[in-house]
Structure 1
Amino acid sequence: MAQRSVRASLARAFLYLVLLSLLSTGIAILTLASSLRDAEAVNIAGSLRMQSYRLGYDLQGDRARLNEHLTQYNQSLRSEALLNPGRFWVPKEVRERYNAINDAWADMEHHIRQGDIAWYHDNIAGYVAQIDLFVLALQHYAERKMMQVVATSVVGFIAIFTLVFFTLRRFRHQVVAPLNKLMLASKSIERGKFAHPPLDTDLPNEIGLLARTFTRMADELQRLYRSLEDKVQQKTLSLQEANRTLEVLYSCSQALNVGTIDRHCFTQILQLVRQQEKVDYIEMLVGENWLLCEGTQQESVPWQSAAITQQDDELGQLRWQASVGSPPMPLMQSVASMLGRGLYFNQAQKHYQQLLLMQERATIARELHDSLAQVLSYLRIQLTLLKRAVPEENEPAQRIIGDFSQALNDAYRQLRELLATFRLTLQQADLPAALQEMIAPLRQQTDTTILLDCRMPTQALDAQQQVHLLQIIREAVLNAIKHAGAQEISITCTTSSTGEHTAAILDNGKGIASLSEPEGHYGLNIMHERAAQLGGRLTISRPAEGGTLIAITFRSSSSDNNDEK
């Protein structure tokens, strides 16, 4: 514990400085405060001369305002600004001059009220001379107060300067010089030289305590400095390993830094991890239907795995085998997390592309509704008017009108189906979720049970392929609801080991009457065209057990065959 604290010494010095400043400033402020009305007092005292002459003018002329002017004179003479002589700080000279004026004014007022003009004229000059002396006394009093302010400020400045000088001198000997030695010692230690000049450890303040502590600390540092060199070597090896890990993660992130994230990005990540971490085999399993792998499986090498997650949702598993040195688990967990984000962005991109396709189809639907639908409605109205205008007896004309009306109704119905198809909107990018979303309103339209079994990897399809597949399934389900009279409709989506995708829609209804498209209907043709857009084939059959089976078979791309399950 310091015997004479530097903080306490500085606090006392600053306290004395503050007290001196307050004292000198307070005296100056009080002096100036007492001078606030000096100018007013001089002005009023000077006005007494003019009022005295004005009273002499009133005695010689019209005396109507004499009493009013006497009242004003008495008010001016007894004004607060003229410094009541009873105040103890007012100089004796000012009080005597003020009392002399008061005494002389008593005689002057007496003769004025008696109208003694001759006496007033004889004594007015002496009275005014007394007023001048009073004004001069007030002036001298104000000047003395200003000199007092100046003297107080000078004395205060000298006292403060003296106190500051001795405080700084003591501070230099007890603080600055020891701190300079401490600074030199710290620079010596900074250069690795622990032999420094002795410090002022005998000072009875905080600097002495600091010097003693610093000396002990330097000895401890010298001991620790040697042991740190060994630890630095160990940390260097750890940092080299961390740098290699960062390089792997950076390469993986660059693989995902592309405009469109697809299966090739994920394959590239698996290749990078396998090459740089000496992994024998690594695979990425998403759900139960999508598998990407690199390397060759080893029967005798144990498996390790990390969950592929995105926002606490598990999307799949990252599994690997390493016969020589397993890669760090934090690295593989980071790679798995990166793959999860890649899957999320893949779905987001697919959803965005779906929205663009849906928007384009909605635009076509609006154009059809605003053009062709309006024309068909107009033709239906005109045909109704024509039917009323043609006599019932004209059977050939009535048959033609009936055939025309039937064809027009079929065209209008087909147009409504097209509009409903074009206006299909989906909010899900995942194929099973999108199928559920699409089937939900169809289930509300019928009592038929609609079953769904989707085991097709949604990552294998792009947005346009997925939309075409959804449209084909929707059209097939709608046909089964409208025409089959089925009690159950099942939808099955699978992917074979060769990468071939199949979607089958089977109902237990009465079966399709004809495998060819009826005249005036275009639903089957549209389904065949969509299948062609997918690069696949659409088949319609009547199973032996009854009902109708519609199947679409296609491949997402020729390069997917190698590694999709």
Structure 2
Amino acid sequence: MIVKRPVSASLARAFFSIVLLSLLSTGVAIITLASSLRDAEAINIAGSLRMQSYRIGYDLQRTSGDLQSHRQLYQQALNSPVLQTLNRWYVPQEVQQRYGQLHESWREMDNRLSQGDEQWYQQNIQRYVGNIDLFVLALQHYAERKVMLVVIISLLGTAGIFTLVFFTLRRFRQRVVKPLDQLANACQRIQQGQFSLLPLNSKLDNELGLLASTFDRMSSQLFKLYRSLETSVEEKTRDLHEAHRRLEVMYQCSQALNTSQIDALCLRHVLQIVHEHEAACFLELVVDDNWRLQQGEANPALPICRLPVNMQENVLGELRWQSPQQQVSEPLMRNIATILGRGLYINQAQKHYQQLMLMEERTTIARELHDSLAQMLSYLRIQLALLKRAVPDDNAPAHTIIDDFSRGLNNAWQQLRELLTTFRLSLQQSSLPAALREAMDVLQGQTGARLILDCRLPTQALDAQQQMNVLQIVREAVINAIKHAEATEITVSCVTDPDGLHSVYIRDNGKGISSTVEPEGHYGLTIMRERAERLGGKLEIELLPAGGTQVRFRFPVLISDKRQ
């Protein structure tokens, strides 16, 4: 069957006719309105001719010297461009005749004015003004007729558009809507399993006729396929149930990471969900050599399956599992690895954000101290130097007091500089080992002693504040060893003890600390102890039997980092 009259072509012709009629009526109305733009100006100028005529008569009576200029102004108004447009073909004959009569009357009156015939002018001025009134009235009727023309054109255009729309909708209903309703009813019968269709109009010469004939043939084929699909549906149903179960696992894993703060507890929850719903007897998430999460017990007799845990092409760790029956879906485990990678990535991003917030706060405090207390101390040092010069040299008691005050002020200045240096210490690296290595590299340039670092603490187990406290304690201890120990080797070790506590050791082979009591005005050891207490631990300083000093502090791990 060939489509002779497509529905789209019929609708296009109808819409084109509607648009054409709309554009035609609108265009004529716009042109008519455009021609009326200067009607008000023409009526205004025509009305002003009355006043000018009386003014010329007054000038003639008084023998005024302005008569000639007023005649020229009247001539200019009578021949103004807006009145000249009244001579076009579409202007009504009445308006043109009235305008011509004014010109003829004005030529006669102008001749009389040139002769100074005041009596004749006064006798005929009323008749001339009457012609002006008739001309203004003709202009008014002309403007009103144009407005009425716009209204009539708009009404005719609207009526024509509604007529076209009515016949278009009526034809559309007969040739499109009614056949579509028949097809919809036939579809509902097929949906109910009834393949005996209602009679369809396949004689239409548009797409719906072709669709009706095609639908008849399709229904007979559907009946043949219906039975064969039932068995396929049962198989697909089983597959969908399995896919639903896997999607449920993935959804629960995603919800486990849908928290404001992602930590090791969230990642362990993901492993627990997979362990409960899948055939994996052992699951392990390995992030680095120092941090891993396990669920279940490993069986040495079973092979270990591995998948990389990555995010945006960055490998963050490895997911390992064992299955006794090899029934774990590898695509599912690949998606679980992706979820874990996203969790690890967000965890690192959150810690980096915490580090930035911490650094911003510390920088603000350092800036405030520098702009306030440091400025005041500098001012006091200058004033003290001036005071020392002003006191006579033979005044020994005053110089003694000034020297004591100077030492105390210098000590306070030094303590403030160390405090500012501590506040400006930042975590430029995302992991604690990298941050410690960066700090040790900086301190290595300040001493000839050999600095050794062995950090095996899991970064994921520490938040930004804890990392900063550990970094500052280590840095302060190393600086003290550089300044006072006279050591040739300083070792920093960070490990996790078998009892689950994190331990940090700073050892040197120097001369050893003489006393753990700080001199007056020094607060380095006190601040280190306070930082260790803030971590939930305790800082200890002791002499080594082989010589040197050891600074050790231990602090507990986070609850979310404890292994089952």
- Which of residues 532, 540, 544 in structure 2 aligns to 1:541? 544
Cα distance in 2, alignment partners of residues 85 and 353 from structure 1 = 81
- Number of the residue aligned with 2:183: 182
Cα distance in 1, alignment partners of residues 86 and 381 from structure 2 = 114
- Number of the residue aligned with 2:328: 326
- Number of the residue aligned with 1:445: 446
Name the SS of the counterpart of 1:445 in structure 2: coil
- Number of the residue aligned with 1:196: 197
- Number of the residue aligned with 2:341: 337
Unpaired segments of 5 or more residues in structure 2? none
- Number of the residue aligned with 1:473: 474
Please state how far the C-alpha of 1:280 moved relative to its aligned partner. Answer: 1.9
AA in 1 matched with 2:419: L
TM-score (norm 1): 0.67
Name the SS of the counterpart of 1:202 in structure 2: coil
- Number of the residue aligned with 2:552: 552
- Number of the residue aligned with 1:432: 433
Please state how far the C-alpha of 1:71 moved relative to its aligned partner. Answer: 8.3
Please state how far the C-alpha of 1:443 moved relative to its aligned partner. Answer: 2.0
Unpaired segments of 5 or more residues in structure 1? none
Aligned residues: 551
TM-score (norm 2): 0.67
Name the SS of the counterpart of 1:320 in structure 2: strand
Question: Aligned ranges for residues 343-422 of structure 1 at < 5 Å?
Answer: 343-344=347-348, 347-348=351-352, 351=355, 388-389=393-394, 415=415, 419=419
Which range is displaced more, 444-453 or 421-430?
421-430
With over 3 angstroms needed to count, the CA separation of the structure-2 counterparts of 1:345 and 1:182, relative to structure 1, is same
Please state how far the C-alpha of 1:301 moved relative to its aligned partner. Answer: 1.0
With over 3 angstroms needed to count, the CA separation of the structure-2 counterparts of 1:317 and 1:158, relative to structure 1, is closer
Which range is displaced more, 437-446 or 355-364?
355-364
1:463-499, Cα deviation, whole Å (9 max, x unpaired): 6665554444334422332234444433333334444
Cα distance in 1, alignment partners of residues 95 and 409 from structure 2 = 123
Which range is displaced more, 287-296 or 35-44?
35-44
Cα distance in 1, alignment partners of residues 378 and 472 from structure 2 = 25
Which range is displaced more, 191-200 or 22-31?
22-31
With over 3 angstroms needed to count, the CA separation of the structure-2 counterparts of 1:200 and 1:529, relative to structure 1, is closer
1:70-120, Cα deviation, whole Å (9 max, x unpaired): 9899889989999999977788899999999999999999899889999x7
Please state how far the C-alpha of 1:201 moved relative to its aligned partner. Answer: 1.9
Cα distance in 1, alignment partners of residues 504 and 382 from structure 2 = 41
Residue identity over aligned pairs, in percent, reads: 36
8 Å Cα contact 1:38-1:142 kept in structure 2: no
8 Å Cα contact 2:355-2:465 kept in structure 1: no
1:22-67, Cα deviation, whole Å (9 max, x unpaired): 777777888888898699699969979x969x98x999x7788999
Cα distance in 1, alignment partners of residues 483 and 526 from structure 2 = 17
Cα distance in 1, alignment partners of residues 220 and 165 from structure 2 = 38
With over 3 angstroms needed to count, the CA separation of the structure-2 counterparts of 1:256 and 1:223, relative to structure 1, is same
AA in 2 matched with 1:452: L
AA in 2 matched with 1:280: C
Cα RMSD of the aligned pairs, angstroms, is 6.4
With over 3 angstroms needed to count, the CA separation of the structure-2 counterparts of 1:164 and 1:323, relative to structure 1, is closer
Cα distance in 1, alignment partners of residues 402 and 79 from structure 2 = 125
8 Å Cα contact 2:503-2:553 kept in structure 1: yes
Name the SS of the counterpart of 1:274 in structure 2: helix
AA in 2 matched with 1:426: S
Cα distance in 2, alignment partners of residues 232 and 503 from structure 1 = 63
8 Å Cα contact 1:256-1:265 kept in structure 2: yes
Please state how far the C-alpha of 1:513 moved relative to its aligned partner. Answer: 7.2
Please state how far the C-alpha of 1:435 moved relative to its aligned partner. Answer: 1.4
Name the SS of the counterpart of 2:205 in structure 1: coil
AA in 1 matched with 2:299: Q
Cα distance in 1, alignment partners of residues 125 and 365 from structure 2 = 116
With over 3 angstroms needed to count, the CA separation of the structure-2 counterparts of 1:183 and 1:383, relative to structure 1, is same
Name the SS of the counterpart of 1:292 in structure 2: strand
1:360-405, Cα deviation, whole Å (9 max, x unpaired): 99699889967997999799979999995466xx9xx99x999979
AA in 1 matched with 2:425: T
* Largest Rg, 1 or 2: 1
Which range is displaced more, 202-211 or 156-165?
156-165
Please state how far the C-alpha of 1:321 moved relative to its aligned partner. Answer: 1.4
With over 3 angstroms needed to count, the CA separation of the structure-2 counterparts of 1:104 and 1:289, relative to structure 1, is closer
AA in 2 matched with 1:539: E
